[in-house]
Amino acid sequence: MWGIIATWRMAKEGIDDAVVNLQDGGSAGDAIETAIKAVEDFPFYKSVGYGGLPNEEMEVELDAAYMDGTSFDVGAVAALKDFANPISIARSLSAFPVNNLLVGAGAEAYAHKHGFERKNMLTDRAKIHYKNRVKDLRDTEISPYSGHDTVGMVSLDQAGHVVAGTSTSGLFMKKRGRVGDSPIIGSGLYADSEAGGASATGLGEDLMKGVVSYEVVRLMKTGMSPQDAVNKVTFDLDRELIKRRGKAGDISIVAMNQKGEWGVASNIDNFSFAVATESQPNTVYTTKRVGDTMVHEVASQAWLEQYLTDRMKPLEEK
């Protein structure tokens, strides 16, 4: 059995590439890096990699993480500027026994020393998004933080290895140096080849309060199915945050166990995900919460086309 699951429709093309690797007996680590790099390199996905939305200083700061569920090797970067493919930098850090999470100037110095591609990640399109948001904020009460999506993935290879990875530009117009859940092991992602893996997207400040990815994997290790595990963690945290703080931010989690079984839960209405396994072709779903369960529906071709059209339509500065 092999499989791969990812947050959001934006992962579909990357998963297409990863499936070729997994079908041929390739490693889950290579599949994760291949699939996430495809998202990072596509400039119209404005929440990841090249073209990612900037912070309040109009700088693109990127976060990424990688975890091998067999060795428990981890690597992560945060607040990284001017380097392409942070997932590859994070994976390379997982080879070391220490110094696995590097931030800011330290992460950039490491990337430069080890020959990773230096690149201005701020595109003209992202500048228009930024300038329009600044004007919106003068005229309305729109939150500066709307428009954040992490690509998070879990992969299982034929050898039984489970790997998880994440990549994001974080909250739009965040404070310089802000770091969310994505590069934090246990919150943004977690993998254990004896159980499975999980990855999360949403409001990082709230996701970290529940250490959600670790909790999902812990429950799967007790024998709980991936769907039951993500349901419990997502909805329990949603209720707890509302009880204690009066509201809960976006919480969405994808998971896959060591058998290739998968589950997805979200407390928002517009969540989508992509999944492929040995017995299922790469498929994009939309999902919605009904009580404490989720209803997954295969996305129509019209929906898939509209998704790309919306993200690639020309922008004009207001």
Active site residues: 150
Burial class from Cβ neighbours inside 10 Å (0-12, 13-18, 19+) for residue 231 reads buried
251/230 Cα distance (integer angstroms): 10
241 φ/ψ angles, rounded to the nearest 5 degrees = -65, -40
Question: Do 155 and 188 form a contact (C-beta atoms < 8 A)?
Answer: no
26/217 Cα distance (integer angstroms): 23
Angle at 154 between CA 153 and CA 160, to 5 degrees: 155
Helix segments in the chain, DSSP class H: 12-23, 28-41, 86-93, 104-113, 124-139, 204-210, 212-221, 226-245, 301-312
173 φ/ψ angles, rounded to the nearest 5 degrees = 60, 35
Q: Is 49 left (phi over 0), alpha (psi -120 to 50) or beta?
A: left
